[in-house]
Structure 1
Amino acid sequence: MTEAFIPIFYFSGTGNTWWVGNQIAEELQERGCQAQPISIEQVTDDEAHELIEKAAMVGIGYPIYGSDAPLIMQAFIENLPAVTGQKPMFIYVTQAAWSGDGAYFMRKLIEAKGYQIRWAVHFNMPNNINADLGWIITMILKLFQAKLPHAAERAAKLAQHIVDNQPWIMGKSSFLSFGWTQRFFFRKGFDSSHKNIWSVDAEKCTSCGRCVRLCPVDNITLVDGLPQFGDQCNICLRCYNYCPELAILAYKRPYNPQMFGTQPYQGPVSEFKPEMLIEKK
């Protein structure tokens, strides 16, 4: 497996999946592999297909939303090219708490394209949900404040398993497969409510357009200087967490600094900026 080219395609909303992907890539590089983390916002399908064609193995990474994958990543996976010879794949996901089979639930679609999922691993990362969803949900979310050193250790462990060709599948047991129940209710609720999540405080908004530029699915436009939200939201939280004026409202509620601190979650490390995920290299 040494010297193997391994592209790691990931989607990251606020930096957690970006950070883990880079950790995995660094660990693989230290073990002699040519691992390359790639934001799916920075490549076209054709470019991704070219990289996959020459890859010895493919990595996929995404954050968990209700035991589910973001719609943008689901579309990316659906567009993966068919391959021959059961090309190995690893999947990693980032989550605040529990997702059951979050890294493994799309296996039928993926394996039908000729890939063999040999590693599916969950990484608990700091919670990035800072919207005021009521004190009960907020208190539950505050219980899950994962530490980066543990995630770094898991990245090293995954890299070693890959180099040793030792499978590691999380979410395969009958109990963990109950992630489908959380997915079911999340999808039902998301379909009925996602169009009404976001609005804007017109007095705070300065029409800077950062939310428009950061949206991964072009769901935000400026109309008369104010953000307008369409019906394609992936709930990545970039617009909310990175608004410099805290002008984006969630369910018509402003950001609450007394509940969450001076600013929303803005990535696992200070050097992270969301523009890093979308700027072409």
Structure 2
Amino acid sequence: MILFFSGTGNSEYAAKRIGKTINDDAVNLFEKIRSRDFSQLHSNRPWVIVVPTYAWRIPRIVQEWLENTKLTGNRSIYFVMTCGGSIGNAGAYLEKLCNAKKLDYCGCMEVVMPENYIAMYSAPAQAEAREIIRRSGKVLDEAALLIKTGKAFPRPAIALKDKISSGIVNDIFYPVFVHARKFYADDSCISCGKCVQVCPLDNIRLADGKPVWGKNCTHCMACICRCPAEAIEYGGHSKGLIRYVCPENPEKS
């Protein structure tokens, strides 16, 4: 079974492409995470977890869900992490998680996809984004073949900077940067409530027709990137930046 979490569509694309190749279901974890549903899941096929990279590790909301959810049946588990640049030393933390859950860790595949973290960076224009996605196909197909044949993903060489990024930097990044205080909606807001619907932590509500953010944010960028009016900003950094939502759908290819 393929389980995925995705804010702006990159990991959803990766999960569905792999699912189509190996003829397995791709299940969205959005509602389970939002409702804190930790009920047991069963699969006779290997588990495949497809997620974005947040500060060189898997999102903490996915980590929490995995820690609290019993996965029964097949004991093999693969991880696929989409990223704008690198996943650092994420694999070491995933292997530790798998050992704690008595699952057989089969590796973590790094898949470079278009940047979507516009709280700090810039997303590419659509033509460039499509080219990056096209190039990702080779890695995704390689991952699918290894899963299909029951072989582990290759283990990448890990440099000191990878260990620092996934360790010290991740530990500092979350409490310092991952909050919703800088999000706001300008006067172009149409009060559609899309931001409320796409927040995986149920952290947004409408007040007098405009979104108000709570304290529970994971910086998935779903609200700012999926706003149909592009009315949401993140401080001054996001002004004028391209909003990114994955333009590809593997189910139509």
Residue correspondence of structure 1 range 151-170 to structure 2 within 5 A: 151-170=136-155
Residue 102 (structure 1) aligns with: 90
Contact 2:113 2:133 in 1 (8 A): yes
Matched, 1:181 2:164: yes
Gaps in structure 2 of 5+ consecutive residues: none
Within the candidate set 18, 42, 45, 1:56 is matched to 45
Superposed, 1:64-143 pairs within 5 Å as: 64-81=53-70, 87-131=75-119, 133=120, 138=122
Q: How far apart, CA to CA, are the structure 2 residues paired with 1:270 and 1:114?
A: 34
Are the equivalent residues in 1 in contact too, given 2:13–2:250 (CA < 8 A)?
Answer: no
Q: What percent of counterpart residues are identical?
A: 23
Give, as a single letter, the amino acid of the residue that structure 2 aligns with 1:198. F
Partner of 1:32: none
> How far did 1:213 drift?
1.0
Tell me, yes or no, if the aligned pair for 1:62 and 1:92 is still in contact at 8 Å: yes
- 1:116-159: per-residue Cα shift (whole Å, max 9, x none)? 1113101001111345x4xxx54xx76x9662232222222112
> How many residues were matched structurally?
242
Q: Give, in whole Å, the separation in 2 of the partners of 1:268 and 1:103.
A: 28
Show the 5 A alignment for 1:1-281. 7-29=1-23, 35-43=24-32, 44-46=37-39, 49-50=40-41, 52=42, 54-81=43-70, 87-131=75-119, 133=120, 138=122, 147-171=132-156, 173-175=157-159, 178-183=161-166, 184-193=168-177, 194-201=179-186, 203-253=187-237, 255-256=239-240, 260=242, 264-269=243-248
Does the 8 Å contact 1:27/1:155 carry over to 2?
no
- Post-superposition offset of 1:237: 0.6
**2:17 touches 2:250 (CA, 8 Å); kept in 1?**
no
CA 1:226–1:112 in 2, change beyond 3 Å: closer, same or farther?
same
| Alpha-carbon offset, residue 271 of structure 1 | 8.9
SS at the partner of 2:25?
Answer: strand
Structure number with larger C-alpha Rg: 1
Tell me if the contact between 1:199 and 1:252 (Cα under 8 Å) persists in the aligned partners. no
Taking structure 1 as the reference length, what is the TM-score of the superposition? 0.76
Cα distance in 2, alignment partners of residues 112 and 270 from structure 1: 35
Asked whether the 8 Å contact 2:57–2:88 carries over to 1, the reply is: no
Distance 1:218 1:163 in 2: 36
Change (3 A) 1:245 1:270: farther
Partner of 1:278: none
SS at match of 1:196: coil
Deviates more, 1:240-249 or 1:99-108: 99-108
Deviations 1:32-57 (A, max 9, x none): xxx111011244432xx23x2x4231
SS of the residue corresponding to residue 97 of structure 2 reads helix
Give TM-score scaled by structure 2 length: 0.84
Q: Distance in 2 between matches of 1:237 and 1:25?
A: 25
Root-mean-square deviation (CA), in Å? 2.7
Query: What are the superposed Cα offsets for residues 55-102 of structure 1, whole Å, 9 maximum, x if unpaired?
Result: 231111110011022222111111131658x81111100001112223
